[in-house]
Amino acid sequence: MAPRILSRNRQPRHRKGLADERRLCLMPAAVTVFVMDTGFDPDAAKEFPHVRLHAGFNMSRHGSPDDSSDPHGHGTAVARTLLEACGPAPIRLVPVRLLDRRSALWERGRVADALERILRELPEGPTVVCAAFGDGRHLLPDEPDGQPETAERIRELRRRGVAFVAAAGNFYAAARRQRCWGMSWPASCPDAVSVGAAVCGRGEGRRDEADGCVPEAERLGEADGGLLEERLREADGGAAGGWMLEPNSQRAPAAAAVGGTTLFAPAHPPGHTSGAAAFAAGRLAALCSRFPGIGVDEQLALLLAGAEFIADDEGSSHWPLLL
């Protein structure tokens, strides 16, 4: 039998198809980001040309169901930090107005309701959910929190490859009198990606909207009578380049219960663990844009590959530090 000869017309089409597939693999994927907070100022989206603002929804006690505007500013600050951390990754931003105009969560059940809707409307492609708030409790991840539906929906999100990124909480200075370890809810849910806040003793602190980067000691030293400045001086030059846990940042080691605090990050605006969680969510979204289709465990492994570790005061527990 004579060998089969491809025509000139067919061969270029085959090669073009391969080239298109390779190009598609190299193109960053659009990532959908749900920001559960006080809402979002739509004018802020104009600062980010790579962002498409999608219609959000309102599950707070104020306004119409489709009003996702921000009467407080916390949600807009969280979204800004998240979008800055994304870099040029294409983002579809969906604001979920959940907290009231004082940035308070009065009904915990609304979190489960919002997650149910997110699961119901989950789009194709990579997705990240950011919840940079907490309820002020000091819970271990295996401790009953009265909201099993929320934990179940966070678990389902994770099963579908969607990270639920939450702030570990800002009440450690008072809560540690009860016990050493704990986090605010919903970060305490075992399948959440919980984020604590870190500060640095070398003048590197969270980014300030007006002044850029400012030392955290100036922001927080007054709150604990200079204790922070003393600890910063002790930490300077130590492990992780002088970084240390922010004194008010709640935390739980993985050994204390299933799903301890996942990581720590600098306290970007709006500050403390909210800003740290927003930064981590943005970095995760950027990674998902480059590696769509991978699970949350793989996302975290890539995100934290080569990360330094940060220790508590006693040095008995260590967490990865995302910079």
Ordered by start, the domain boundaries in the chain are: 27-195+267-305
Average pLDDT of the residues in 169-196: 94
pLDDT at residue 90, rounded to an integer: 98
d(CA 172, CA 71): 28
With bands split at pLDDT 50, 70 and 90, how would you rate the model's confidence at 41?
very high
With bands split at pLDDT 50, 70 and 90, how would you rate the model's confidence at 255?
low
Average pLDDT of the residues in 271-295: 98
pTM, 2 dp: 0.82
- The DSSP bridge partners found for residue 183 are 139
Residue 8 has pLDDT above 60, yes or no: no
pLDDT > 70 in the chain, percent: 78
Q: Which residue has the higher pLDDT, 34 or 230?
A: 34
Among residues 269, 283, 266, 278, which one has the least CA distance to residue 204? 266
pLDDT at residue 211, rounded to an integer: 32
Domain 27-195+267-305 top-level CATH class: alpha beta
With bands split at pLDDT 50, 70 and 90, how would you rate the model's confidence at 23?
very low
Q: Which residues contact 24 (CB under 8 A, 6 or more apart)?
A: none
Q: What would the two tokens of residue 234 be?
A: 């002790």
- The string of pLDDT tens digits covering residues 56-95 is 999 988 889 989 999 999 999 999 999 999 999 999 999 9
d(CA 62, CA 49): 30
pLDDT at residue 238, rounded to an integer: 43
Instruction: Return the H-helix or E-strand segment holding 266.
Output: strand 263-266
Asked if residue 305 lies in contact with residue 287, where contact means CB atoms within 8 angstroms, the answer is no
